[in-house]
Amino acid sequence: MTTDTTGTVARDGDSRPGGPADSPFIRACRRRPVPHTPVWFMRQAGRSLPEYREIRASVPMLESCRRPDLVTEITLQPVRRHGVDAAILFSDIVVPVAAAGIDLDIVPGTGPVVAEPIRTAADVERIRLITRDDVSYVDEAVRQLVVELGDTPLIGFAGAPFTLASYLVEGGPSRTHAKTKALMYGDPELWHALCARLAEVTSAFLRVQIEAGVSAVQLFDSWAGALSEADYRRFVLPHSTTVLSGLVDAGVPRIHFGVGTAELLGAMGEAGADVVGVDWRTPLDVATGRIGADKAVQGNLDPCVLLAPWPVVEAEVRRILEQGRAAPGHVFNLGHGVLPETDPEVLTRVVALVHELSSRRADQG
């Protein structure tokens, strides 16, 4: 075992030359020199790909997440097609919550919908703790994928307590998170009990993925940007810290991501991340100033830019690579997920462009 300056403990044998732990993606997460800036896309395994739509035409979303053969195929599709530097496990943030006993579904065009929302202490007790047996299909899919992917790293993920709590309390997607905030401000004790339980479920879910062989994990706190920094620190940070800092011994880089988090970037880094995800609202050099020079950044092309003519896309990719140089490590990504209407050809071109521009920079020293 070796410990690098981030405090991350590297697993023995993991950094053999050419293996996933020596890949540009993992090296950038650990702020080590890279042959080119690595790139992957949030929601790369999804609806912009015709080959994905074909598989999903006859299989509901949650069922597809529970079938290791389909998870493996869908996860590999964007790697084959775009040549991205990392795969992300095909699953959803509500998969472990469903495994914990909560009756929910993922409704096409809407998102997660919970049959009986969580609003009382008795409701919190309905969220059981999960073991590997509850999500054996994830364990199996990761093991299969690690073999198939060879040197390409696989990213595992989970939802952070706040974002999960929002779906559970609201009962579905919400623009204002009003019911969630009402519970948070109105009954802090119940709020903390709910988030503590969700942190346990999320931690167990990430442990299963790490033990099965993922090379990095990302904690999605997509809706954390709905909070002020003071409220984030009081109501959310302790629970996300339980998850991320609790994995310090696991030996894989931890990425912490949210949307609209300009004011929260410093706090999100403090939760125990090696990499902080940044959306398009904050330039990466400004973000680095807020996060600190001891963490890498990931981002931050506006997914809508991919719908514009190529010269616009190219100029934005150049700008982001340039601003990313201020960070001690940069993983190129979007500021949020790929939109379904995105032309997959554009994604492939972005991967090639990021590689070309960043390798040329290395040649020039």
Catalytic residue flag (residue 134): no
Nearer Cβ to ligand CP3, position 15 or 42? Answer: 42
Q: State phi, psi for 257 to the nearest 5 degrees.
A: -125, 140
Distance CA 278, CA 325 (A): 14
Q: Does residue 47 touch ligand CP3 according to CB under 6 A?
A: yes
With beta carbons less than 8 A apart as the criterion, state whether 70 and 64 touch.
yes
- Of 3-11, 90-98, 205-213, 261-269, the segment contacting ligand CP3 by CB under 6 A is 90-98
CB 173 within 8 A of CB 136: no
Choose which of 43, 119, 192, 234 interacts with ligand CP3 (CB under 6 A): 43
Tokens of 52: 């994905």
Pick between residue 15 and residue 212 the one whose CB is nearest to ligand CP3: 212
Catalytic residue among 43, 128, 143, 233: 43
User: Binding to ligand CP3 by residue 77, rule CB under 6 A?
Assistant: no
Question: Which of these ranges, 40-48, 232-240, 262-270, 293-301, lies near ligand CP3 under the rule CB under 6 A?
Answer: 40-48
Q: Tell me whether residue 32 or residue 47 sits nearer to ligand CP3 (CB atom).
A: 47
Task: Please state the closest distance from residue 140 (CB atom) to ligand CP3, in A.
Answer: 17
Confirm or reject binding of residue 337 to ligand CP3 (CB under 6 A): yes
Taking CB under 6 A as the rule, does residue 92 contact ligand CP3?
A: yes
From 84-92, 132-140, 190-198, 265-273, give the range in contact with ligand CP3 by CB under 6 A: 84-92
CB-closest chain residue to ligand CP3: 222
| Annotation says 143 is catalytic | no
Tell me which of 92, 134, 221, 274 is the catalytic residue: 92
Measured from the CB atom, the residue of 49 and 296 that comes closer to ligand CP3 is: 49
Binding mask 313-332 for ligand CP3 (x = CB under 6 A): --------------------
Cα radius of gyration rounded to whole Å, the chain:
19
Closer to ligand CP3 by CB, 59 or 362: give it.
Answer: 59
Catalytic positions, written as ranges? 43, 47, 56, 92, 167
Residues that bind ligand CP3 (CB under 6 A): 42-47, 56, 61, 88, 90, 92-93, 106, 108-112, 157, 163, 173, 220, 222, 337
